[in-house]
Structure 1
Amino acid sequence: MGQRAASLALAAVALAGCQTAETPRVDVFRPAYAGVETRLLEGDLVNFIVAMRGARDDKDVTDYAECAAAQYALIRGFGFARHVRTTVQEEGGLWSGDAVYTVSPDLPRGLRTIDAEVVVDNCLAQGIPTV
């Protein structure tokens, strides 16, 4: 019985080794950015409509809108933007975001402000297109 117990223990160790092998990830993030529509609402208030496929969740869409807002601010000669709101929806694999930002030459008041130059650099590093 001692030899049988040793054989079972050895088999258990071998099986445990097999069970700890890492399973390769198959959920690769391959977004397809489908464009940005920019609308000047009033003064420094700007609306960005973005669309993409392959988003993992709402954050991917809001990141895309933020990248568009940051680039827009720089194009207009501003260094900053402040997030007002973003709504995201998904239908048939197409994700869309409707975001509103204010743009300004100086750091605006509020908690959801962005330094446009820093954000654009980060977007480029992550492969997210800007306007």
Structure 2
Amino acid sequence: MVPRIGPVLAAVAALAGCATEDRPEGEVFRPEYLGVETRLLADDLVNLLVTMGGARDLQDVVDYAECAAAQYALIRGYGFARQVRTNVVEEGGLWRGDAVYTVSPTLPKGLRTIDAEVAVEDCRAKGIQTV
């Protein structure tokens, strides 16, 4: 017979497995958000250049760029953004992201759409800086 565990213990077990799957449990994440340079390419198209130290991998840089794009959309009076592309390079421990986003007042078509208000709140909760 297989022992049964309660839903709380099952959730804890699942979360414990997630902690070590992608990133080691003992790894300390100390990000340095070193700035965002914004270049307006068109009325609804923006290029964001982000620089970061202490990233664990390229996803941390992509997240930083997304947070900057969401805040930028709000600053411009738009409610949404959509990722067009993001390129990431790492050299000597310094990570750079070169991202392009569209911004719009309505939900754009596409797969990588961002509700700017929700994203900025999520970024704040995670401690990721925005513009």
| TM-score in same-fold range (> 0.5) | yes
For the residues of structure 2 that align with 1:124 and 1:79, how far apart are their CA atoms? 17
Q: Point out 4+ residue stretches in structure 1 off by more than 3 angstroms.
A: none
Identity level (%): 75
- The offset of 1:26, in angstroms, is 4.0
Query: Which structure has the bigger radius of gyration?
Result: 1
Q: Secondary structure, in 3 states, of the residue corresponding to 1:117?
A: helix
Q: Does 1:84 align with 2:84?
A: yes
Summarize the alignment of residues 1-131 of structure 1 with structure 2, pairs less than 5 Å apart. Answer: 26-131=26-131
In 2, Cα distance between equivalents of 1:26 and 1:59 = 19
Deviation digits for residues 19-74 of structure 1 (CA, Å, limit 9, x no counterpart): xxxxxx54200001100000000120100000010000010000000000000000
Structure 1: which 5+ residue stretches go unaligned?
1-24
Write the letter of the residue equivalent to 2:95.
W
Residue identity in the other structure for 2:98 = D
Partner amino acid, structure 2, of 1:44? D
Aligned to 2:21: none
Structure 2 unpaired stretches of 5+: 1-24
Number of residue pairs the alignment of both structures matches:
108
Instruction: State TM-score, norm by structure 1.
Output: 0.80
Output the amino acid matched with 2:112.
Answer: R
Equivalent-residue separation in structure 2 for 1:27 and 1:47 (angstroms): 32
Equivalent-residue separation in structure 1 for 2:26 and 2:105 (angstroms):
44
Letter in 2 for 1:116: A
Distance 1:26 1:108 in 2: 40
